[in-house]
Amino acid sequence: MLSARATIHPAFVVASVNRRLFGSFVEHMGRCVYTGLHEPDHPSADDDGFRGDVLDLVRELGVTTVRYPGGNFVSGYRWEDGVGPVQDRPTRLDPAWRSVETNAFGLNEFIRWARKAGVEPMMAVNLGTRGLQEAVDLLEYANHPGGSTLSDLRVAHGAPEPHDIRIWCLGNEMDGPWQLGHKTATEYGRLAAETARAMRQLDPDLELVACGSSGRDMPTFGAWEATVLEHTYDLVTHVSAHAYYQLRDGDHASFLASAVDMDRFIDQVVATADHLGARLGSDRRIDVSFDEWNVWYLDELQAAEADRPRDWQVAPRISEDDYTVLDAVVVGSLLVTLLRHADRVTAASQAQLVNTIAPIRTEPGGPAWRQATFHPFALTARNAVGTVLDLRLAAPTTVTGRYGEVPVVDAAATHDEDGNRLVLFVVNRHPSEPVSFTTDLSGWDGASLVEAVVLADDDLTAANTRDRPDRVVPRRHPSAAVADGELVAALPPASWSMVVLAVGPGAADHGAAG
């Protein structure tokens, strides 16, 4: 059997776990908002028309931050359309997703929903078809306490307290030719800088995210970040990165190694940002906001779009991907990568939250259920607490068609000193071979097993559906055990595992075989 060995020590810390790593994304795309979050006629709907079953699942998922309202949608959006009496709001065509937007749900509904869900809002401004003035107006409307026309308008719209949105995205994917108002790096860099400067005049403490690349395969990747940051370096706190992965041509090995690409993406964005810092003689550090990531069957969407009726509909079904066990393992592995980069990736949003490429699915008037990808996200968000440790791994490699030679195993570890917990998240990326995984616990006196679960299946295409919502769930790890200062576990092929250990004072007494 293949074998891999990890070493972790409490003294070797990467960074604190920033809770914003477990963010998500709500876009006016498909049925994410309408019949996802918002369905006034649904039996579980509350007074605001928010689906209660979805709110419960969002809380269970452990989402911390939610980016809104797009996405490609934001680049043609007039935020004013979504505030004020609902009956007075205009109906518009959304060119990004060829949909009819009723504007029944807008900024104030989103903030009310976010407060109920217990998540922090992250707002994007339109720098595609609009610009500085509209961004500043939106900021004043949303965050100013009162005494100005726009802030008083918010109060008149039933939101007396300022929304206090702390983190803002300066547009969306402005490097992409598909984006409404797509720009060159210089055009965007100038606009983002001027918008950031103006927003900071209202509130110097805002966190601002400049658009980075829509993917590492964009022809402008690297040069785009360098130019944009040259203009914005002193004005923004983050640069964004977006990445989507899918199984292509049945190549499981490459798909399972998708996180290798995310790894390289993060390292290269960080290197580019730091290079700019050096060139500008700045001591500031720009972090990465990985504010769109997921598995997305984009090829299928492109094929489906060609067949979609040319009529315009409200909330059409778009990219309601049914996620498999294999997809869930990849999602778990992308979370491992984000955790390992917690020193520089300080915000991240899985795209998206409900129905559209989402961990939560709903039917109008019907049930809501957890997709397979829900589980690694929820377990990581709940258990990755405290600090990320500098886990060192010795693992065999395998050759993939897309990423060359890659380590078969990837892992991250977090240490919650207050809760006396050490947690490992481990992926076996080999499509057909199990791996014997050992962790040296010599720095952890008396470590004992609390819980160990694994996501794996003989049928990698298994998925949760409306009729079988619990077909794919994490199961008790059959082999994980602690003995003689080591954790040992046999990792099934194509699997994601989580192991929780009790450590620190009295650890040996706290443990209960999981």
Q: Where in the sequence numbering do the catalytic residues fall?
A: 173, 292
Determine how many CB atoms are found less than 10 A away from the CB of residue 143.
20
- The single residue listed with the structure tokens 């092929």 is 493
- Cβ 294 to ligand AHR shortest distance, Å: 8
Joined tokens for residue 418? 């207050």
What tokens appear for 30 in the block?
A: 């498909």
Pure H helices in 178-315? 185-202, 223-232, 252-256, 258-279, 298-307
| Closest approach of ligand AHR to the CB of residue 93, in Å | 16
Q: Find tokens 């891999």 and name the residue.
A: 4
Distance CA 270, CA 266 (A): 6
Closest CB to ligand AHR among 294 and 400?
Answer: 294
- Residues contacting 69, CB < 8 A, separation 6+: 26, 27, 28, 77, 82, 106, 107, 110, 124
> Between residues 164 and 299, which has the closer beta carbon with respect to ligand AHR?
299
Per the listing, tokens 């693992």 go with 395
Q: Are 440 and 485 in contact (CB under 8 A)?
A: yes
C-beta of 224: minimal distance to ligand AHR in Å?
15
We find the least distance from the C-beta atom of residue 368 to ligand AHR, in angstroms, to be: 20
- Residues lying near ligand AHR in the complex (CB under 6 A) are found at 27, 29, 70-72, 172-173, 214, 292, 351-352
Q: How far is the CB of 96 from ligand AHR (least distance, A)?
A: 7
> Please, which residues have CB within 8 angstroms of residue 363's CB and are 6 or more apart in sequence?
466
Q: Per the structure block, which two tokens stand in for 80?
A: 């004013």
Toward ligand AHR, which CB reaches closer, 69 or 431? 69
**Whose CA is closest to 232, among 167, 267, 277?**
277
Whole-number minimum distance, CB 321 to ligand AHR, in Å? Answer: 11
Q: How far apart are CA 365 and CA 380, in angstroms?
A: 31
**What distances in angstroms separate CA 51 from CA 47, 106, 139, 191, 372, one per listed residue?**
10, 16, 28, 38, 21
State the nearest-atom distance from the C-beta of 119 to ligand AHR, in Å: 17
Instruction: Please compute, for residue 365, the number of CA atoms within 13 A of its CA located in the half-sphere on the CB side.
Output: 0
> Reduced to 3 states, what is the DSSP secondary structure of residue 264?
helix
DSSP, residue by residue, 192-225: HHHHHHHHHHH-TT-EEEEEEES-TTSTTTTHHH
Alpha-carbon torsion, ordered 73, 76, 80, 82, to 10 deg: -30
Contact 171, 192 (CB under 8 A): yes
Q: Cα–Cα distance between 446 and 457 in angstroms, integer?
A: 32
Joined together, the tokens standing for residue 391 give 């886990």
- Residue 139: which of 112, 172, 104, 165 has the closest Cα? 165
Closest contact distance (angstroms) between CB of 167 and ligand AHR is 17
Amino acid (1-letter code) at residue 161: E
3-state helix, strand, coil in the chain (%, to 5): 30, 30, 45
Shortest Cβ distance from residue 211 to ligand AHR (Å)?
A: 10
Nearer to ligand AHR, 134 or 173 (CB): 173
Residue with smallest beta-carbon separation from ligand AHR: 71
Please report how the helices 325-340 and 374-383 are oriented relative to each other, as an axis angle in degrees rounded to 10.
30
